[in-house]
Structure 1
């Protein structure tokens, strides 16, 4: 007995005005075939088409219809069988056809899982590999990994290589290494392109340890002889990232001698590294080599040099190079102008900074919020708050909204000029303007209040910082500890020190100096000596004034042995005594009868 027509067929027959579904004939054909089979009848083949071609066309048409249903119908799994009552979805040929026409690989995966829940379906290797490749091509690496775990099948070697590249592109480097091990375990040696892709991926996530691990495996494999210039570029970058720029430079020289050209990016990376290390002779040599290799340094190359000089506070040299660039016909962009304006402001050369400001505008570059902030900072630094406020207003009027950076700049300028209360007003307005206050905002205001001796306000800010869910930094504690030591509140300063260390923060060297001086001022000289010895054990260099204050206190309480011991440490570090301190010490020691004092007094005088 024939199966009852499907709900879709009934709907079409009852609504003749409805636009006919293009798959109706296919479904009817499939239904008629099934009915004929059940009733013993025979359907004569169409003489114009081969049976295999009919089957293929049927798969194609139904695949298109199913793709449409899976894209538009939310719970299609519940009705798909009844929509196509006579069709065998378990045929692997159909699934391959569906993947061809489905433009959403996740919907294909969903259909695959539905098929797996149907009786009689057993995925063939071709279907599995096709779906896996589609997932990899769509960069759905995590889904592809789950698919492998779920099915347990082994993709082809070429598919796994694509998978490695996909994993590296999205940063899943540990998983990429596992796949490499799997490939090699199966006796497959990846291509050099795949190895290079992995090296590139490791560098993107700053895992140079994996770069060197993988490179070691490369040298042990058959691909070692195929290492190309791209591989070398990644190795040079890894050296630079590890702070071993000189080794990267050696590798560059080797490949240049072998006739290979690594490209401008490699030169720029080494130049940037040498700038950070202040090795400007090597920078100059690299520039000449670039030119010799027909790689004319671009404006971005010089941008790296100027940035490197700026980070080392060598803005004078940066300004010289900047002017030289313009003389040689280079056209600085807004980024370089902004960088140079910021550097000149740090030098307090506001006149030159203003000239560059107007020159930049004449060249057609409109100042952005970073350029404004750089010049605002410069005017604040020289105490011209009126001009700084004008620029700030102009920046806002031009449509640049107030940001954390711009507010921090103004707060720093006000605090720098003894206007901490005004800075607090701006600080309190920030939440009303939907501007986030960060740790730098708090630290800047804490430092400003400490400069003005308002220790209570500073401590309250430190507490509020933590209430707001922010993590204090070393700079949050340092000015408060310094001011407490100056005020004689040495015990409170030590409590803050303990709090800072318990958070894993590394105190600044000057903070120890402040505590030693504070202990001496309060008469805790023995403890001050202990703090000094601890600094020396840690190879930290105390300030000269710290030594002199401790020497002065020790000599006042008649501790000549300890006095000379501290003096010896002071000389070993390379400090000398100021004339007044030296005369006072000699007069004090001359009153002693100790043979030890007499023996060392000559050495003291020799080192003056």
Structure 2
């Protein structure tokens, strides 16, 4: 049940006092005063805080002995009764003593089950509740759930509340929702800590649908005044995970108006969300808002901004922010340096990338495998393979083994510059060095071979990819298909196209554009028009060059027809 963000603030303003206490929220006293019928419990005669007189010392000594036996002996169940023939194991007070002495709750449960099956032990409500609490404290949620189901007892509401938090911490939020409903039936209102545990549990496993269900239950339960900034943060995260960053932003603005200072994590999540949506005006606004509220952006906040700018290929802007960070006294880490080096290499700014490389080393930040591969990628991109190989050797000398990433970097660069023979040699070397070939490896080679017109070799690589059981991607097929159309092998191209579609791979729009252009250049203008019509039917927008090529070919055909007609008339 999703709620409007504004309803959250409305509830905040209703009351600034404590949460209304329900009369049933008190923890009940587990003594002989418990009446039969309360929550359907059995009558109890055990006081957990007062051991039986004159037996405490005896129980403690025997409990210590038996704890040691259960920890060290594999099949103690078969001999324990014969070793203690006169001892009354069915005394409930003894089990409580044993439970306090035993430091392994699963062994305590095993001992409990043995008592029930071998000693005519009839556990009362208080015994079950103590063992249940111990399981929950040990974070053994699944075992606690099984114990709860098979023993058919009703724990104290406070125990159930702890159980809720335990379930949420391990991601069992659906089970936690059932427990919340049980608490609702008996009139017990969980604390804000428990509601927050439920919300963060849902966010962790990306179950935002349950976030809004818990939020609705929260409102209906009257948890109003103690809703805190942590709750707000979880709701903002849920909005961001739902790709509703603007709604999260609106919620942030509302709590700021209400005078609540949000956590830095809330700002960071919104900044990440807006970076993904490439709304950098909002990002800038959030950064200024953080500073205005004395929530100074940290290095991780700026890392998100720089990464977002890099993805939008605004490398110069991210470089400006990076330098500004250093001027303000921040200390960029290896991740940020690697991000900047990679971005500069993509722009072919090897001078700037090398400068940052030596700068980070001078600051004592050693490059890792990803940093090396970023600079190797830059050298390969500009065709400086000697420098790339030197760096590659340096990487190996520093203890970094040849990996799939490093081989892919070199293979991609070699194919980019038409050196496919060397790239194929590296492919063979991968198997010798134990580096795994992945889809990226094959796709780089297929693209490079097709660029050189080596169709047979590229098709062999595609078959090799499939033979290894790898899942092909769009770039595994499209370079071969386009090249087949370019050389006029229409039937083979159609066959491969259908094979790709049958595998659930949807070609990119520009692939169709390439095919239309290739058909036109081969003189298959009618087929090119059919492809264009199919694109328009599927609401795909062809590129301008595609229209221009079709118009050019149609104009040539029309001119040829007119010349042919004129020649025919003149001949007559």
Residues 245 and 142 of structure 1, relative CA distance in 2, 3 Å threshold: same
Q: Shift of the alpha carbon at 1:527?
A: 4.3
Given that 1:439 and 1:465 are in contact with CA atoms closer than 8 Å, whether structure 2 keeps it comes out as: yes
Structure 1 residue aligned with 2:570: none
Q: Shift of the alpha carbon at 1:440?
A: 1.6
Whole-angstrom CA distance in 1 between matches of 2:178 and 2:455: 56
Please say if 1:162 is aligned against 2:162.
yes
Residues 135 and 428 of structure 1, relative CA distance in 2, 3 Å threshold: farther
State the SS of the aligned residue for 2:437: coil
Alignment of 1:498-513 (within 5 A): 498-513=498-513
State the SS of the aligned residue for 2:261: coil
State the SS of the aligned residue for 1:231: helix
Whole-angstrom CA distance in 2 between matches of 1:215 and 1:585: 72
Whole-angstrom CA distance in 1 between matches of 2:552 and 2:132: 78
Structure 1 residue aligned with 2:337: 337
Whole-angstrom CA distance in 1 between matches of 2:561 and 2:485: 29
Given that 1:485 and 1:517 are in contact with CA atoms closer than 8 Å, whether structure 2 keeps it comes out as: no
Q: Shift of the alpha carbon at 1:401?
A: 1.7
Structure 1 residue aligned with 2:32: none
Given that 2:229 and 2:263 are in contact with CA atoms closer than 8 Å, whether structure 1 keeps it comes out as: no
Q: Shift of the alpha carbon at 1:204?
A: 0.9
State the SS of the aligned residue for 1:488: coil
Whole-angstrom CA distance in 2 between matches of 1:312 and 1:585: 47
Q: Shift of the alpha carbon at 1:216?
A: 2.1
State the SS of the aligned residue for 1:223: coil
Residues 376 and 221 of structure 1, relative CA distance in 2, 3 Å threshold: same
Q: Shift of the alpha carbon at 1:422?
A: 1.6
State the SS of the aligned residue for 1:222: coil
Question: Which deviations, in whole Å up to 9, do the C-alpha atoms of 1:290-326 show, x marking residues without a partner?
Answer: 1121222222221111111011111110011111222
Whole-angstrom CA distance in 2 between matches of 1:398 and 1:250: 50
Alignment of 1:524-603 (within 5 A): 525-555=525-555
Please say if 1:123 is aligned against 2:154.
no
Whole-angstrom CA distance in 1 between matches of 2:288 and 2:164: 39
Whole-angstrom CA distance in 2 between matches of 1:146 and 1:194: 22
Structure 1 residue aligned with 2:364: 364
Larger RCO, structure (CA 8 Å, separation 6 or more):
2
State the SS of the aligned residue for 1:226: coil
Question: Which deviations, in whole Å up to 9, do the C-alpha atoms of 1:239-258 show, x marking residues without a partner?
Answer: 22222222211111111111
Question: Which deviations, in whole Å up to 9, do the C-alpha atoms of 1:413-436 show, x marking residues without a partner?
Answer: 111121222222222222332322
Alignment of 1:363-382 (within 5 A): 363-382=363-382
Structure 2 residue aligned with 1:187: 187
Whole-angstrom CA distance in 2 between matches of 1:417 and 1:95: 77
Q: Which has the larger radius of gyration?
A: 1
Residues 175 and 522 of structure 1, relative CA distance in 2, 3 Å threshold: farther
- What residue ranges of structure 2 are gaps of 5+ in the alignment? 1-49, 567-572
Whole-angstrom CA distance in 1 between matches of 2:466 and 2:169: 38
Structure 2 residue aligned with 1:203: 203
Structure 2 residue aligned with 1:598: none
Please say if 1:515 is aligned against 2:515.
yes
Structure 1 residue aligned with 2:447: 447
State the SS of the aligned residue for 2:54: helix
Please say if 1:250 is aligned against 2:244.
no
Question: Which deviations, in whole Å up to 9, do the C-alpha atoms of 1:359-394 show, x marking residues without a partner?
Answer: 111111111111111100000000001100100010
Q: Shift of the alpha carbon at 1:525?
A: 4.5
- What residue ranges of structure 1 are gaps of 5+ in the alignment? 1-49, 559-583, 592-608
Residues 88 and 269 of structure 1, relative CA distance in 2, 3 Å threshold: same
Structure 1 residue aligned with 2:178: 178
Given that 1:490 and 1:515 are in contact with CA atoms closer than 8 Å, whether structure 2 keeps it comes out as: no
Residues 92 and 434 of structure 1, relative CA distance in 2, 3 Å threshold: farther
State the SS of the aligned residue for 2:414: helix
Whole-angstrom CA distance in 1 between matches of 2:368 and 2:89: 61
Q: Shift of the alpha carbon at 1:81?
A: 0.9
Whole-angstrom CA distance in 2 between matches of 1:278 and 1:214: 31
Q: Shift of the alpha carbon at 1:51?
A: 11
State the SS of the aligned residue for 1:437: coil
Alignment of 1:398-417 (within 5 A): 398-417=398-417
Q: Shift of the alpha carbon at 1:287?
A: 1.7
Per mean C-alpha deviation after superposition, the further-off stretch among 548-557 and 426-435 is 548-557
Residues 436 and 172 of structure 1, relative CA distance in 2, 3 Å threshold: farther
Please say if 1:497 is aligned against 2:497.
yes
Residues 347 and 181 of structure 1, relative CA distance in 2, 3 Å threshold: same
Whole-angstrom CA distance in 1 between matches of 2:562 and 2:103: 94
Give the TM-score normalised by structure 2. 0.85
Whole-angstrom CA distance in 2 between matches of 1:292 and 1:51: 60
Q: Shift of the alpha carbon at 1:338?
A: 1.1
Question: Which deviations, in whole Å up to 9, do the C-alpha atoms of 1:325-351 show, x marking residues without a partner?
Answer: 222222222221111111110110001
Whole-angstrom CA distance in 1 between matches of 2:489 and 2:247: 51
Q: Report the number of matched residues.
A: 516
Given that 2:230 and 2:263 are in contact with CA atoms closer than 8 Å, whether structure 1 keeps it comes out as: no
Residues 299 and 125 of structure 1, relative CA distance in 2, 3 Å threshold: same
Q: Shift of the alpha carbon at 1:480?
A: 1.7
Alignment of 1:29-428 (within 5 A): 52-428=52-428
Whole-angstrom CA distance in 1 between matches of 2:213 and 2:142: 24
Alignment of 1:413-492 (within 5 A): 413-492=413-492
Whole-angstrom CA distance in 2 between matches of 1:476 and 1:93: 70
Whole-angstrom CA distance in 1 between matches of 2:468 and 2:419: 24
Whole-angstrom CA distance in 1 between matches of 2:51 and 2:471: 74
